[in-house]
């Protein structure tokens, strides 16, 4: 027969046991456990794209592929430029032939499979170019889904892929809402833009920023209030891509538009 006293005792014990978080069971040094919580990083890389300045020359894509050793003729790229042509009937026509590696040299929209659509100049309501690259999200879904810890976020906010550790499962490629990840055709591991991590950690600009003749691309440190990019993000109207996903992307766009996907 269970007594009132023992019932209460066991109930208290049970509640106490349930309230221990799972993390507490793993015996680790508290510094590593709480390491992620104090935010002492002095650098947080962000990107600013001015879609008004982009003319769709694709020199950024060319430079990126050369700099980051992405096979030039393979149809994969870390950064690309999209063309949006909005016609007066409210329709969106978008393409990015070869990721705009060779720029946009014809007014025909590439529909894929060798089909093209000609749009008359008189029908165009607005048309513009949108450079895309990894958003280095504050909450990167690609990192969460990695089963082996091969992709991770550094203290400066850059998401990197460990080529030795990646097993090539492709979860991260499926998980990225922006479609910036792909398989590297040579190494057969997940590949992505990392804001030219090797360049920015040496104080250089990324290859795409350096190659852009029009100043459409800029990289900056949002933790530095005197950084020109920080000033623009803080004082002007900027937008990010797909904010509804809750990923907190860190590539900001001047001249965003509801038609951009």
Applying CB under 8 A, the span of 63-71, 184-192, 224-232, 244-252 interacting with other proteins comes to 63-71
**How far apart, in whole angstroms, are the C-alpha atoms of residue 22 and residue 20?**
6
**How far apart, in whole angstroms, are the C-alpha atoms of residue 114 and residue 249?**
34
DSSP secondary structure, 170-236, as one string: -HHHHH-TT---EE-TTT-SEE---S-HHHHTTTPPPHHHHH-TT--EEEEETT-TT-HHHHHHHHS
Q: Which residues of 53-65 are buried (b: 16+ CB within 10 A; e: fewer)?
A: bbebbbbbbbbbb
Please tell me whether residue 3 binds other proteins under the rule CB under 8 A: no
Place of tokens 């890389």: 45
**Binding residues among 17-46 for other proteins as defined by CB under 8 A:** 23, 32-33, 35-37, 41
**How far apart, in whole angstroms, are the C-alpha atoms of residue 9 and residue 228?**
63
Please tell me whether residue 129 binds other proteins under the rule CB under 8 A: yes
Taking CB under 8 A as the criterion, the residue among 107, 170, 183, 224 binding other proteins is 107
Please tell me whether residue 92 binds other proteins under the rule CB under 8 A: no
CB of 4 to other proteins, least distance (A): 35
- Nearest residue (CB) to other proteins, 26 versus 244: 26
Taking CB under 8 A as the criterion, the residue among 76, 170, 205, 227 binding other proteins is 205
Place of tokens 């920080």: 230
Taking CB under 8 A as the criterion, the residue among 94, 95, 103, 240 binding other proteins is 103
3-state secondary structure of 97: helix
Taking CB under 8 A as the criterion, the residue among 162, 175, 177, 232 binding other proteins is 162
Name every residue whose Cβ is closer than 8 Å to that of residue 213 and which is 6 or more positions away in sequence.
57, 59
Applying CB under 8 A, the span of 13-21, 195-203, 229-237, 243-251 interacting with other proteins comes to 195-203
* Count of residues engaged in binding other proteins, rule: CB under 8 A: 63
Looking only at the bridges linking them, the beta strands covering 115-117 and 109-112 are: antiparallel
- Nearest residue (CB) to other proteins, 35 versus 168: 35
Tokens of residue 101, six digits = 């590696």
Please tell me whether residue 210 binds other proteins under the rule CB under 8 A: yes
Q: Which residues bind other proteins (CB under 8 A)?
A: 23, 32-33, 35-37, 41, 52-59, 62-63, 66-68, 85, 102-107, 121, 124, 126-129, 139-140, 143-144, 149-155, 160, 162-165, 194, 197-199, 201-202, 204-205, 207, 210-211, 213-215
């Amino acid at each position: 027969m269970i007594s009132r006293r023992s019932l209460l005792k066991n109930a208290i014990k049970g509640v106490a046991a349930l309230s221990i978080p799972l993390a507490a069971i793993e015996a680790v040094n508290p510094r590593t456990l709480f390491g992620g919580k104090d935010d002492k990083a002095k650098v947080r890389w962000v990107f600013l794209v001015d879609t008004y300045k982009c003319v769709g020359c694709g020199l950024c894509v060319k430079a990126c592929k050369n700099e980051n050793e992405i096979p030039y003729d393979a149809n994969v790229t870390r950064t690309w430029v999209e063309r949006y042509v909005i016609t007066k009937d409210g329709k969106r026509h978008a393409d990015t032939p070869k990721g705009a590696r060779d720029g946009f040299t014809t007014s025909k929209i590439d529909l894929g499979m060798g089909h093209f659509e000609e749009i008359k100049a008189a029908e165009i309501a607005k048309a513009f170019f949108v450079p895309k690259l990894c958003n280095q999200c504050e909450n990167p879904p690609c990192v969460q889904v990695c089963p082996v810890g091969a992709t991770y976020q550094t203290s400066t906010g850059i998401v990197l892929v460990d080529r030795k550790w990646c097993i090539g499962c492709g979860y991260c490629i499926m998980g990225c809402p922006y479609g910036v990840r792909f398989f590297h055709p040579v190494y057969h591991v997940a590949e992505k833009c990392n804001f030219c991590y090797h360049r920015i950690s040496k104080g250089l600009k990324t290859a795409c920023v350096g190659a852009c003749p029009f100043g459409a691309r800029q990289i900056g440190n949002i933790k530095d209030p005197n950084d020109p990019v920080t000033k623009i993000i803080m004082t002007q109207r900027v937008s990010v891509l797909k904010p509804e996903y809750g990923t907190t992307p860190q590539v900001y766009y001047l001249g965003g538009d509801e038609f951009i996907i």
